[in-house]
């Protein structure tokens, strides 16, 4: 396996990106601690080569933050996870930019209507920030729910995708 790594500048802060064999496997704000299950937590042991644009993520994120919020949809992903987690993450990628859904709606889409908590746990374990858009999942009541990057970042991303410019708002928080 070939790993490529980069630290990218974004309006929300520096972001660590890791690709495996040309597909994005991890993307996370550098200001947040890595989960022990994240390949980013062991990037040194993986022998990752430092590059500018692993799997094209630097280009796609630049386009995303410049207003083409669908740019990240073109990226190929290969996250580490269970079969169930991978099904949830695939469902997340089907949520259109600028829209939201609930854990229960995803559970129903997966033909597992009582699995909303399991969907929430898989959502929380998502290793690929923005590209696998877990920020688009909200509570059944419409309230913003927990987000590993913080609710201010979630709010910023949702507003950005809905065309409301808030550059610097989350970064300044």
Q: What are the DSSP calls for 32-99, one per residue?
A: SPPPTTSGGGGTTTTTPEE-SSGGGHHHHHHHHHTT-TTGGGGS-B-----HHHHHHHHHHHTSPTT-
Q: Does one domain contain both 119 and 156? A: yes
Q: Which domain holds residue 20?
A: 3-74
CA angle, 72 as apex, 107 and 92 as ends, to 5°? 0
pTM greater than 0.85: yes
Is 134 known to be catalytic? yes
Helices (H) and strands (E) in the chain, counts: 6, 6
Q: How many residues does the chain have?
A: 173
Measure Cα distances from 37 to 21, 33, 75, 90, 97 in Å: 19, 12, 22, 19, 27
The tens place of each residue's pLDDT in the chain, 173 residues long, gives 999 999 999 999 999 999 999 999 999 999 888 888 889 999 989 999 999 999 999 999 999 999 999 999 999 999 999 999 999 999 999 999 999 999 999 999 999 999 999 999 999 999 999 999 999 999 888 888 888 888 999 999 999 999 865 444 444 33
Measure Cα distances from 20 to 40, 49, 65, 135 in Å: 11, 11, 24, 24
Instruction: Specify the CATH number for the domain of residue 69.
Output: 3.30.160.70
Q: Does one domain contain both 96 and 141? A: yes
> Among the options 25, 27, 88, 134, which is catalytic?
134
- Where a domain ends, among 74, 91, 123? 74
Q: Does one domain contain both 52 and 113? A: no
Q: Does one domain contain both 116 and 146? A: yes
DSSP H or E segment with residue 116: helix 116-124
Q: Does one domain contain both 15 and 62? A: yes
Q: Structurally, how many domains does the chain consist of?
A: 2
Q: Does one domain contain both 44 and 125? A: no
Instruction: Specify the CATH number for the domain of residue 154.
Output: 1.10.10.10
Q: Does one domain contain both 101 and 20? A: no
């Amino acid at each position: 396996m070939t790993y490529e790594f980069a630290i990218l500048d974004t309006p929300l802060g520096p972001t660590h990106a890791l690709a495996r064999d040309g597909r994005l496997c991890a993307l996370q704000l550098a200001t947040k601690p890595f989960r022990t299950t994240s390949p980013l937590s062991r990037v040194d042991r993986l022998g990752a080569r430092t590059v500018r644009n692993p799997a094209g993520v630097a280009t796609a994120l630049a386009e995303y933050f410049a207003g083409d919020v669908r740019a990240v949809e073109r990226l190929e992903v290969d996250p580490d996870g269970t079969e169930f987690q991978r099904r949830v993450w695939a469902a997340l990628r089907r949520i259109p930019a600028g829209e939201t859904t609930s854990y229960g709606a995803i559970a129903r889409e997966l033909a597992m209507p009582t699995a909303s908590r399991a969907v929430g746990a898989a959502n929380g374990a998502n290793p690929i920030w923005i590209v696998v858009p877990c920020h688009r999942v909200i509570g059944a009541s419409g309230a913003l729910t927990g987000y590993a990057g913080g609710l201010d970042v979630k709010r910023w991303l949702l507003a950005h995708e809905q065309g409301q410019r808030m550059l610097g708002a989350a970064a300044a928080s």
